[in-house]
Amino acid sequence: MVKLSNYFLFTKREDPAEAEVISHKLMLRANMIKKLSSGIYLFLPVGWRIFKKLEAIIREEMNKAGAFEIYMPAVHPATLWRQTGRWDIYGNEMLKFTDRNGRECCFGPTHEEVVTWLAAQEVKSWRDLPFTLYQIQVKFRDEIRPRFGVMRSREFIMKDAYSFGKSQDELNEAYDSMYKAYWRIFSRCDLDFKVVEADTGAIGGADSHEFIVLANTGESKIVYCPRCGWAANTERAELKEFKFKKAKYTEKKEINTGEAKTVEEVAKKLETDPSEIAKSVVFTVTFKSKNGEFYDENVMCVVRGDREVNEIKVQNFLSKLKDETVMGLKMYTGEDLPFGNIGPLGFDGMILLDNSLKFIDYFIVGANKEGYHITGIKAGDLKGDNYHWGDFAEAKAGDVCPKCGEALNESRGIEVGHIFKLGIKYSEKLGATFVDKDGKEKPIIMGCYGIGVARTVASIIEQKADKFGCIFPHTVSPFTVGVIDLKANNESSAVALNLYQNLKAKLFNPAILAEDVLLDDRDESPGVKFADADLMGVAYQVVVGRSFVKEGKVELKVRETGERLKISPEEVVDKITEFINHKNKSIEERIRSCPLT
């Protein structure tokens, strides 16, 4: 029985001071979540119902994709994480502690180590493969700055899946099947999302895609091609060519640029385009060598002046080049360099040159001397053992699509899902091997696949909310139907109760082990009831009030479209079923648009 008169719901009229973005404000106001401490939240009945409905969708799709559900512990021994080297790499984001016996532990930020340990324990033969395991479980990541409510919280629940196979083909197959499952999951949430090529970050591996919900408040930036559909995270987007520029200064010459330091200042002073200035940035890069020692090295990165350096690309390039782990990089802060006048000619150290510099005939570099720059430099002038050409620039709108040449669009979004082809990165280190048909012992080939469950809920709100509150499709709405009893007269309440009984029998939802219908029987004014139903995002609202007294009809309102119908109480169940079927059809259509079939 969900009668609001005795339900646990305390909605707020005003925006809480602590919230910045719409989804966070609404989740707090609708009493879906409650903050206990920075980045740590309780889920309350309304919020937990939404969560449970989404969780059930995820579980259903994972099972349909052939994955097996398990549950792994939150607390892990340090030894496992030391074996993969991630005890250090994960750094302060991992919550570490020591138990009463002095054993070092961590609260798991992810589960590659544990699940690979499991596979190492159990898998022996090629006959045992392939399989995919998943769990919906709590994680802890001690984020630098938790933000936006449950969108970036420290403790959070993630669906994480791990595939194990004996060949690249089997990995590809598992990867594609997760891709399709994710497509179905986010389609069933009625989300507008894009799948983009992504960087693999701390998890590691080769191929990777992110599922990004388009929203202006998102923390991810993506570029996508309006013609061929190619899309990538700007951190990752491989750029092959740039719009070619012609330089104003073609003569090689040292010139006085005085106080001009930034690219913009120098370009203004020389009355030319910023793209003609080479932007030189020096990083202090911390490496971890094979024998576990940390050391720093200064590396210069040079991009065309209209570009920005992409640190992740720099990091990935360096770790591949040296075959060592890059722990991180910072801007170099030493006093010995003439900042604003530094350049790749005569710099003592490794120099990374971005391909964008090849798309201008001549450019201007810092002279490594206070107040001076050198004009008329060609890409060919930068030669030597310490020079490395590569892709180090961040993609942005207007860039050339590497697949078809069209100008790219840029958008912001929220990363709700991420899939990786891990390969043998973890299985090798943790001894997860199998004996193949040829009698040889080989490492298992792995993939991993994650969804932020609460983040997905927040992103639905973020993308759909209006001035009245949350909007959900019935698939994840806290209540598919809300019967609002305005207590117009004695008879009307009986009709409302009756409607509620009929609907809840029909709309019992096994996902939440409860009926999916709400009865607002509170002694409140009509405005309060309408406002609360809208705030929570009740998908279909049946109002029993004035029109019932006048004409014996109730009003059916569709939250998403605002559409209102006056119908007799007998028609309500059929009409709602009709709306739901219609919505399901459009969701089906979205599912069918998946590029993988």
Partner RNA sequence: CGGGGCGUAGCUCAGUCCGGUUAGAGCGCUGGCUUCGGGAGCCAGAGGUCGCAGGUUCGACUCCUGUCGCCCCGACCA
Determine if 352 is a binding residue for RNA (CB under 7 A): no
The nearer residue to RNA, 425 or 529, going by C-beta atoms, is 529
Give the start-end residues of each E strand in 406-553: 409-423, 433-435, 441-443, 445-452, 481-485, 508-509, 514-515, 517-520, 540-544
In the block, residue with structure tokens 């609907």: 503
Residue 258: strand, helix, or coil: coil
Least distance (Å) between residue 101 CB and RNA: 27
Determine if 421 is a binding residue for RNA (CB under 7 A): no
Pairwise CA distance, residues 219 & 74, whole Å? 27
**DSSP code for 141:** -
Q: Quick one: CA dihedral 317, 82, 88, 290, positive or negative?
A: negative
User: What tokens were used for 309?
Assistant: 């350096």
User: Binding-site residue total for RNA (CB under 7 A)?
Assistant: 64
Least distance (Å) between residue 446 CB and RNA: 29
Least distance (Å) between residue 514 CB and RNA: 23
Determine if 350 is a binding residue for RNA (CB under 7 A): no
Determine if 160 is a binding residue for RNA (CB under 7 A): no
Determine if 527 is a binding residue for RNA (CB under 7 A): yes
Least distance (Å) between residue 36 CB and RNA: 8
Determine if 545 is a binding residue for RNA (CB under 7 A): yes
DSSP output for 208-221: EEEEEEE-TT-SEE
Count CB-CB contacts under 10 A for residue 444.
Answer: 28
Least distance (Å) between residue 22 CB and RNA: 13
Q: Which stretch binds RNA (CB under 7 A): 60-68, 70-78, 237-245, 334-342?
A: 334-342
Query: Is-cis flag, bond preceding 130, omega within 30?
Result: yes
Q: What are phi and psi of 106, to 5 degrees?
A: -140, 160
Determine if 486 is a binding residue for RNA (CB under 7 A): yes
Q: What are phi and psi of 460, to 5 degrees?
A: -65, -45
Determine if 347 is a binding residue for RNA (CB under 7 A): no
Determine if 8 is a binding residue for RNA (CB under 7 A): no
User: What tokens were used for 70?
Assistant: 């398990």
**H/E stretch holding 284:** strand 278-288
Least distance (Å) between residue 103 CB and RNA: 25
Residue 580's alpha-carbon distances to 163, 200, 257, 539, 587, in angstroms, are 35, 39, 68, 10, 10
Chain residues 34-73 in contact with RNA, contact rule CB under 7 A? 35, 37-39
Integer-rounded Cα Rg, in Å, for the chain is 29
Determine if 169 is a binding residue for RNA (CB under 7 A): no
Least distance (Å) between residue 308 CB and RNA: 4
Determine if 394 is a binding residue for RNA (CB under 7 A): yes
Chain residues 122-151 in contact with RNA, contact rule CB under 7 A? 144-148
Determine if 548 is a binding residue for RNA (CB under 7 A): yes
Determine if 561 is a binding residue for RNA (CB under 7 A): no
Question: Which stretches of the chain bind RNA, using CB under 7 A?
Answer: 11-18, 20, 29, 35, 37-39, 144-148, 261-265, 279-282, 303, 308-311, 330-333, 337, 339-340, 342, 394, 468, 486-488, 525-528, 530-532, 534-535, 543-548, 555, 557, 564
